[in-house]
A and B are shown apart, each in its own frame.
Chain A
Amino acid sequence: MEETTGTDLFTVPIGPQHPALKEPSHFRITVDGEIVTGAVVRLGYAHRGIEKAAEARNWVRNLYLFERVCGICSHIHATAYALGVERLAGVEAPPRAQAIRVLVAELERIHSHLLWLGVAAHEAGFDTLFMYSWRDREAIMDVLEGLTGNRVNYSANLLGGVKCDVDDAQRDAILKALDVLEGRSHHYLDVVTTDALFLQRTRGIGRMTRNQAEVMGAVGPTARASGVPRDVRVDAPYAAYARYPVMRVVETAGDLEARFVVRLRELFESYRLIRYLLDNLPAGEIRGRMPRRVPQGETVSRVEAPRGELFYFLKSNGTDTPERVKVRTPTIYNLTSVVKLVVGHQLADVPMILAGIDPCFSCNDRTVQLEETNGRTRRWTWDQLHRYSLEVEHGRSL
């Protein structure tokens, strides 16, 4: 992706190490004085070849592989994949399982939005807000850990259902955390819309109109902050979103401030949805039977990740291994808009505009590099790693 205008007077390389975020990507920003005239992005620093790897693993093992595409929105990847595989196999997960998928997805959205709020505040030099929002985010991490046993790769999904149920103690813990967070979120919304210094970094910066956002193919909160009513949870309800409808949060200003407001307002929608869901959780099984082999066919699975629409295309050749799994993550589309948006801005605004789309480069790149540790080359093949994991789990050598 590239955007260049005018005469390039000076080129500022940003990244690949820590380009405003603690994830690798490389930007070449051309500037005329302090004003940005062009931007080029280079990706791939976290490319792990996951789509290729999926073609050598069976449907079940791939669930765990795709959960590891992203460390922030891991659950939504597994959900998109599981829903697609279930559709190909003609299996429908029980209603309670679908509701729990939505529950974990919304908890994940809260954790992701609070994480982003902290990162974006940090980019603006507002480290107090960063520390507060990350402190509060711990409440959700604890809830997710209590529910699934894990803080990051929750592994809540199985093919045909979910792994974890919700009991009364967990329900109370979730509600208690939500009460605390709701109060805090009101405060944050107040801060980002009234703090004069903060507004100087966000209001009118990185503005993208609705038409521009549509043409650029922006997705998720980035698109909704520009007035594009695009939310897969509403447009094409999946899992249990038809049963637990969610409201689309749309702002029209299209600037950085609007991107803050959209994500914060989405938090309230997630709190409301989770409370309603916990009060109306269907009884019954949480997992169904799933065949090992999946009939031939193709399907498309679209879900709303915290950063926007996540797209999976799955093709089965009738065996226990997929023929092809294609993943299109939200960040790659929002990045297109960044390289256009930064032109004409101050160089100092670039990190904020970049952070404004809540980019996730691991999602984007999806790759596996074999590991090297401490100068001593130690490379494992996948089979070796798999055997090792079985040994650890069963405490025996295979």
Chain B
Amino acid sequence: MMPTEKAIEIGRELAERWTFHLETRQPEPNRLDVLLASPDDLVPFAVALRVQRIGYLTAVTGLDPGPESGMLELLYHFCQGAAVVTLRLQVPRQGAVIPTLSMIIPSAESSEREIAEMFGVTFDGLRAAGHLYLPEEWPEATYPLRKDWCPPVPAGATTAES
């Protein structure tokens, strides 16, 4: 098992030697955040992590900093032992198309489909489109985990007393 420090060090080294400009942060001793400059960096960097055996994609988190930011953020968490290397990618709120990781990491498919329907990001090359969690009749272009979506209060909701 690779020690945590070594995994963090490898992640940092990969980021620093990268062709594109990348910024790294270490918010906690066991975590390294790598800010990707462009979606083009995503697949090569994921492959690099996989080759260096830090390629276990634990989860993909979608973040919405709010409608005024005009952005969405995707966090790809790769784990090795206790180390968590997170690739952070900012994408435009409208019409974002980014490459899929499911070609190199099969388990990314479910995470990407979840992000696609919850945040409205399109993954180029993702085989199975369509809803994974949401109902078929879910309204189009409605992304429930975005901050500007509020769940409607159902008509006829009764009070606790009735």
A binds B: yes
| Total interface residues in chain B, CB < 8 Å | 47
Q: When chains A and B are docked, how far (Å) is the Cα of A214 from the Cα of B109?
A: 15
A11 within 8 A of B: no
Given contacts A51-B145, A297-B27, contact A381 B157 (CB under 8 A): yes
Which residues of chain A from 346 to 388 have a CB within 8 Å of any chain B CB?
A: 365, 367, 370, 377-381, 384-385, 387-388
A7 within 8 A of B: no
Within 8 Å of chain B (Cβ to Cβ): is A8?
A: no
Q: Is the CB of A300 within 8 A of B84?
A: yes
Known: A236-B82, A313-B61, A388-B160. Is A298-B110 also a contact (CB below 8 A)? no
Q: B160's contact among A42, A311, A365, A384, by CB below 8 Å, is which?
A: A384
Question: Which B residues, 104 to 133, have Cβ-Cβ distances below 8 Å to chain A?
Answer: 105-107, 109-111, 127-128, 131-133
Q: How many A-B residue pairs have CB under 8 A?
A: 109
Q: Given contacts A44-B132, A328-B59, are A384 and B157 in contact (CB under 8 A)?
A: yes
How near does chain B come to A300, taking the closest CB pair, in angstroms? 5
Residue of A whose beta carbon sits closest to that of B135: A44
Stretch binding the partner chain, chosen from A119-127, A145-153, A281-289, A332-340: A332-340
Across the interface, B61 reaches (CB within 8 A) one of A215, A230, A326, namely: A326
Tell me if A194 counts as interface (CB < 8 A to partner B): no
CB 8 Å contact bits of A118-136 with B (1 = contact, 0 = none): 0000000000000000000
**10 extra A-B contacts, CB within 8 A, seeds A217-B107, A313-B77, A336-B107:** A52-B145, A216-B107, A235-B1, A300-B28, A309-B58, A333-B110, A379-B154, A379-B156, A381-B153, A384-B160
A-B contact pairs, 14 of them (CB 8 A): A49-B151, A52-B144, A52-B149, A216-B106, A236-B4, A236-B30, A300-B28, A313-B77, A324-B63, A335-B110, A336-B106, A365-B133, A370-B157, A384-B159
Across chains A and B, which 10 residue pairs bring their CB atoms closest together, nearest first?
A217-B107, A236-B82, A328-B59, A44-B133, A388-B160, A326-B61, A384-B160, A379-B154, A311-B59, A313-B61
